[in-house]
Amino acid sequence: MKFSIQVNEGPYTHQASDSAYQFTKAVLEKGHEVFRVFFYHDGVNNATRLTTPPQDDRNIVTRWSKLSEQYNLDMVVCVAAAQRRGIVDDGEAKRNGKDATNLAPGFRISGLGQLVEAGIQSDRLVTFGD
């Protein structure tokens, strides 16, 4: 079965991000395909490389990055939601006159069309968070 995942909540503020990660990991380990993971609303905060949790806590951003690397996941961050929350890659930083970037490895910024495509291309679109 082919899944796409939508994550609408940020790390450390809601269970949705942890649940989405665990679900995605389990789906992949069972041999299913994940077409795309789309981070929307506060979910885009899962993509900032500047997150620095205490050493005895889980690092949700790093977990997503490692999962992306291991399974070659397409992890897309909504551009409008990212801009509102100060998350930028090289292209967005240059386009908006910013002097730094903070997008974590494995993530890319794109538009809502990527979410629509994910829904069309997948057997199931599973949403985590409001």
> Torsion angle of alpha carbons 24, 26, 32, 35, nearest 10°?
10
Which residue in the list 20, 77, 78, 104 is annotated as catalytic? Answer: 78
DSSP per position, 59-108 = -HHHHHHHHHHHHT--EEEEHHHHHHTT---HHHHHHTT-S---BPTTEE
Does the annotation count 85 as an active-site position? Answer: no
| Catalytic residue set | 78
